[in-house]
Structure 1
Amino acid sequence: MPELAEALVVIDMQKALQYSYNFNDLIQSINGRIAQYRQTNLPIIFIQHNDQDLVRGSELWQLSGKLDKQQEDIVVEKFHANAFYQTNLNKILMEKGIRTLEICGAQTEYCCNTTIIMAHGLGYKILMEHDMTTTFDNDYMIAEDTISFFENIWNKRFVTFQ
């Protein structure tokens, strides 16, 4: 079993992204990690994006109903790709004495990448499993290549892969 961090951070697994690459399989994998974090009583933090295209309260803004989100889980709403920017995420982590994070979710090249780099800059140790983010095909790469490309950038620079 891969090592657990002190908190699991699930980024933007919202209904608007349900057609991204491998979304349903990723939810199953995330739910597996959530179960492991619950067994050891470690915090699970859901990040939920909100902007002019993804309006708070709309159907597409909702977290996927397939996620194992419970009442006691922490939800941080963000308005920027960086989950730390003008949110209370860092304050929550500091108050709980958390220094290691496991990050997963959507979108690889936007919110996941920005949050990973910022977390690293703030001194957090970041653990990840391969293929625990998702995105869409774009004009330059298919989603699988984007994920692989960013995992290669993150590996040993920002993230410890397990």
Structure 2
Amino acid sequence: MSELADALIVIDMQKALQYSYNFDGLIHSINNRISLYRQANLPIIFIQHNDQDIVRGSELWQLSGKLDKQKEDIVVEEFHPNAFYQTNLNKVLMNHNIHTIELCGAQTEYCCNATIVMAHGLGYKILMEHDMTTTFDNDYMIAEDTISFFEDIWNQRFVTFQ
């Protein structure tokens, strides 16, 4: 059984990304982590992206209905790949006395990477399970290779994998 952080942060698991690599499998894995955090009475924070492509209030902006999101969970809306940039995320974490976070979600090379690097810079200890982010194939790499590439960069530099 892997260690739990002080809070679980679920990044951008929205309908706009439902066709990314292994999206439904990732939701299943995230829901398993959510269950462990609920049992431990630890906070679960959902990050919800909003920009010109994913417009607030639209169908694609909605969090996936398959996620185990409850009304007591915290939602932070972001407008930039870095979930800390011009949001209240750091204040929420400080108000809950959170020092370690577990991150998962979408997209590996955008919002996940930017948020991981910033969280590390702010002094948070970041825990992750392998294969807990998703993305799309791009002109250079298939999604699985992008995920492996970023996990290799994060490993022991920014993130402790469990």
What residue in structure 1 maps to residue 135 of structure 2? 135
> Tell me, what secondary structure is at the counterpart of 1:90?
helix
Q: Secondary structure at the match of 2:72?
A: coil
Matched, 1:57 2:57: yes
SS in 1 for 2:139: coil
TM-score (norm: length of structure 1) = 1.00
Alignment match, 1:2:
2
- TM superposition shift of 1:126: 0.1
Q: SS of the counterpart of 2:116?
A: helix
Could you tell me how far 1:75 is from its partner in structure 2?
0.1
Residue 89 of structure 2 is matched in structure 1 by 89
Q: Does 1:77 align with 2:77?
A: yes
SS of 1:118's partner is helix
1:24 aligns with 2:24: yes
Q: Secondary structure at the match of 1:137?
A: coil
- Provide the rounded CA distance (Å) in 2 between the counterparts of 1:46 and 1:112: 13
Aligned residues: 162
Tell me how far 1:125 sits from its aligned partner: 0.1
Structure 1: tracts of 5 or more residues without a match: none
Distance 2:83 2:141 in 1: 25
CA RMSD for the aligned pairs?
0.2
Alpha-carbon deviation of 1:118?
Answer: 0.1
Q: Give, in whole Å, the separation in 1 of the partners of 2:123 and 2:64.
A: 30
Q: Which residue of 2 aligns with 1:68?
A: 68
Match of 2:99 in 1: 99
| Per-residue deviation, 1:66 | 0.1
What secondary structure sits across from 1:57 in the alignment? coil
Give, in angstroms, the shift of residue 93 of structure 1. Answer: 0.3
Aligned partner of 2:151 in structure 1 is 151
Match of residue 47 from structure 1: 47
Which amino acid counterpart does residue 22 of structure 1 have in structure 2? N
Query: How many angstroms does 1:64 deviate by?
Result: 0.1
3-state SS in 1 of match to 2:8: strand
AA in 2 matched with 1:20: S
Unaligned runs of 5+ in 2: none
Please say if 1:160 is aligned against 2:154.
Answer: no
Aligned structure 1 segments of 4 or more residues deviating by more than 2 angstroms: none
Identical columns (%)? 85
